[in-house]
């Protein structure tokens, strides 16, 4: 477990990698859902991301790891700390927190600190996984097997960016803004529509069927397992390049221009697909902007829009049960109509 397979060494699966990078640049995208075949490196990619992200600045004494620059935070701890002047800051790794199946509600939202309650009789709050994931990523493998009451809870917190705990005589609220990353296999069951909607991007991964690609996947996996240090060494430069790309894109993001022409195309696309609500357009634009920033460009072009259309919209189509066409293909169809005009 000491070694994590490097992100840059993942063969193919470009859409998945792109979606993850976009989420790393623009956390407001609202999460990434990776659905698809077994053994395609879904969780490998997410875990690799953790090793890739540059560290972030946090308020040193805040146990939720708040951003020192964040003015509008609901964090009670920061409020106290900031009242006494500028709080100390430190660098911390971006959290990528696993939400394992079988987790109980009290550990997810946080609960009464048992140890202190038992030994000292003190009523104290012990933060849960949501607090730990603040400003980072919350990863749920086999997300479609997650128990319903946990899903309800996640939907609520992911929407509000705040975790409100009212239990066991505790009344606590703390900020919990995280990028939700889910992966799963559609064979195991469908995802609740409300949860599906919380994911900004949805990608489908398929097992590659070209022999050359397959051999390469197997070979890299094999050499990673045999000589992990050497393997990591070999890919460290490539990982570093991606890391720099993320850092650069984050700086560039706010200055990326989104022209009216592109906006109109985005609207046409959503109308053409009949997506519900405005979230589709919003995601489309945020993703296109993040992609432009990743490419080091300061204006969103039609090609950026085209590249993010599938992951941004495929899970927002109104379901037509009699239409068996793959959702991605439907997006493509409308894409070609809109851009042919």
Partner 1 sequence: MSAGGAVDALDTLGPNHADPGTAWIDAAWAAALCAVDPQGLGGIVVRAAAGPVRDRWTRQMQALLAPGQPLRRMPARIADDRLLGGLDLTATLQLGRPVAQRGLLAETDGGFVLVPMAERLPAGTAARLAAVLDQREVGFERDGSSQRWPCSVAVIAFDEGGIDDAAVPASLADRLAFRVDLSALSLRDCGAAAAVADEIGAARVRLPAITLSAEFTQALCGIAMRLGVTSLRASVLALRAARTVAALAGHAEVQEDDALMAARLVLAPRATVLPESGEPAANDAPPPATPPADNGERGRDDNRDAQAQALEDRLVQATQASLPAGLLAALPGTERARAPGRVGALSASPRFGRPVGSRPGEPRGGARLDLIDTLRAAAPWQKLRRAAATHRHASIHVHADDLRVSRRQQRAGTATLFVIDASGSSALHRLAEAKGAVNLLLADCYVRRDQVAVIAFRGRGAEVLLPPTRSLVRARRSLAALPGGGGTPLAAGLEAAGRMAEQVRRSGASPVIVLLTDGRANIARDGEPGRARAEADALRAARQLRGQRLTVLLVDTSPQPAAAAQRLAREMDAMYRALPHAGAAELSAAVQALPRQAR
| E strand spans, the chain | 32-36, 56-59, 89-92, 96-98, 110-112, 125-127, 137-141, 162-167, 170-175, 179-184, 201-205
Which own/partner contact pairs does 248-251 have at CB distance under 8 Å and 24+ positions apart? 248/293, 248/296, 249/25, 249/290, 249/293, 249/294, 249/296, 250/25, 250/293
Task: Give the list of residues 6+ apart from residue 31 with CB closer than 8 angstroms, or none.
Answer: 23, 158, 179, 180, 181, 182, 198, 199, 200, 201
Contact positions with partner 1 (CB under 8 A) in 162-201: 168-169, 185-190, 192-194
**Token pair in block for residue 274:** 């009949």
| Under rule CB under 8 A, residue 114 binds partner 1 | yes
**Token pair in block for residue 141:** 């493998």
Which x/- pattern over 79-108 shows residues binding partner 1 (rule: CB under 8 A)? -------------------xxxxxxxxxxx
| Under rule CB under 8 A, residue 147 binds partner 1 | yes
Which x/- pattern over 197-236 shows residues binding partner 1 (rule: CB under 8 A)? ----------xxxxxx-xxxxxx-xxx-xx-------x--
Shortest Cβ distance from residue 136 to partner 1 (Å)?
16
| Under rule CB under 8 A, residue 43 binds partner 1 | yes
Shortest Cβ distance from residue 229 to partner 1 (Å)?
14
| Under rule CB under 8 A, residue 130 binds partner 1 | no
Task: Give the list of residues 6+ apart from residue 166 with CB closer than 8 angstroms, or none.
Answer: none
| Closer to partner 1 by Cβ: residue 235 or 289 | 235
Select from 12, 49, 9 the least CA-distant residue to 27: 49
Active site residue 219: no
| Closer to partner 1 by Cβ: residue 13 or 306 | 13
| Under rule CB under 8 A, residue 260 binds partner 1 | no
Site for partner 1, rule CB under 8 A: 1, 37-40, 43, 98-108, 111-115, 117-119, 126, 128-129, 141-142, 145, 147-149, 168-169, 185-190, 192-194, 207-212, 214-219, 221-223, 225-226, 234, 319, 321-322, 324
- Enumerate the active-site residues: 279
């Amino acid at each position: 477990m000491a070694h994590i397979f490097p992100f840059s060494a993942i063969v193919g699966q470009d859409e998945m990698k792109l979606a993850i990078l976009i989420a790393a640049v623009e956390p407001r995208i609202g999460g990434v859902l990776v659905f698809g075949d077994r053994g395609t490196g879904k969780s490998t990619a997410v875990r690799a991301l953790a090793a890739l992200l540059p560290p972030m600045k946090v308020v040193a004494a805040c146990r939720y790891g708040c951003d020192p620059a964040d003015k509008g935070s609901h964090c009670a701890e920061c409020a106290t700390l900031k009242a006494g002047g500028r709080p100390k800051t430190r660098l911390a790794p971006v959290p990528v927190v696993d939400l394992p199946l079988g987790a109980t509600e009290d550990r997810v939202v946080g609960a009464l600190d048992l140890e202190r309650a038992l030994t000292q009789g003190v009523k104290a709050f012990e933060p849960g996984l949501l607090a730990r994931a603040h400003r980072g990523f919350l990863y749920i493998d086999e997300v479609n097997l997650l128990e319903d009451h946990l899903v309800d809870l996640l939907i609520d917190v992911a929407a509000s960016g705040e975790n409100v705990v009212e239990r066991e005589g505790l009344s606590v609220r703390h900020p919990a803004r995280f990028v939700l990353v889910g992966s799963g296999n559609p064979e195991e069951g469908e995802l609740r529509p409300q949860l599906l909607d919380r994911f900004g991007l949805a990608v489908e991964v398929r097992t590659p069927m070209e022999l050359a690609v397959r051999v390469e996947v197997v070979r890299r996996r094999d050499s990673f397992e045999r000589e992990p240090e050497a393997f990591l060494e070999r890919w460290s430069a490539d990982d570093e390049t991606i890391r720099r790309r993320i850092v650069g894109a984050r700086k560039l993001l706010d200055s990326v221009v989104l022209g009216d022409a592109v906006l109109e195309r985005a609207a046409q696309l959503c109308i053409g697909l009949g997506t519900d609500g405005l979230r589709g357009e919003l995601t489309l634009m945020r993703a296109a902007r993040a992609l432009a920033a990743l490419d080091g460009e300061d204006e969103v072009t039609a090609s950026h829009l085209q590249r993010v259309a599938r992951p941004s919209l495929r899970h927002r189509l109104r379901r037509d049960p009699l239409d068996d066409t793959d959702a991605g293909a439907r997006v493509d169809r409308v894409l070609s109509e809109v851009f042919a005009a």
